[in-house]
């Protein structure tokens, strides 16, 4: 068991670089999330992964797809891949035409 005996031990933990790694990583810096309407209040517990290009991504897909405003399980839901959105260690790309076609089908616009 790792008991913290005094405030100095807590300060030492908090000052460690590995503890601070994610302090400055906001949803606005993470691909997919940066375009989601829930990004300012989202309580996501996934750990973001950095790319060499100093951009960020998630390895596991969120159950919400912000490109079509649908949650997994909702009628009409599609995965990111089905929408032509790729976000992984290699990079980030969006097929805007495919998303537009899906939104027309789902929402009639």
Binding site for ligand SF4 (CB under 6 A): 27, 32-33, 36, 38-39, 42, 44, 62, 64, 66
Minimal distance, residue 57 CB to ligand SF4, in Å:
11
Tokens for 27, please give them: 């949803």
Minimal distance, residue 81 CB to ligand SF4, in Å:
15
Q: Which is nearer to ligand SF4, 1 or 41 (CB)?
A: 41
Minimal distance, residue 37 CB to ligand SF4, in Å:
7
Q: Which is nearer to ligand SF4, 14 or 93 (CB)?
A: 93
């Amino acid at each position: 068991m790792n008991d913290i005996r005094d405030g100095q031990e807590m300060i030492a933990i908090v000052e460690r670089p590995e503890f601070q790694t994610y302090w400055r990583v906001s949803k606005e810096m993470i691909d997919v999330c940066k375009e989601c309407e829930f990004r300012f209040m989202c309580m996501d517990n996934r750990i973001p992964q950095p790319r060499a290009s100093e951009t960020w991504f998630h390895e596991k897909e969120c159950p919400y797809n912000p490109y079509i405003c649908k949650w997994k399980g909702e009628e009409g839901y599609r995965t990111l891949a089905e929408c032509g959105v790729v976000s992984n260690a290699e990079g980030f790309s969006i097929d805007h035409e495919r998303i537009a076609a899906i939104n027309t089908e789902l929402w009639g616009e």
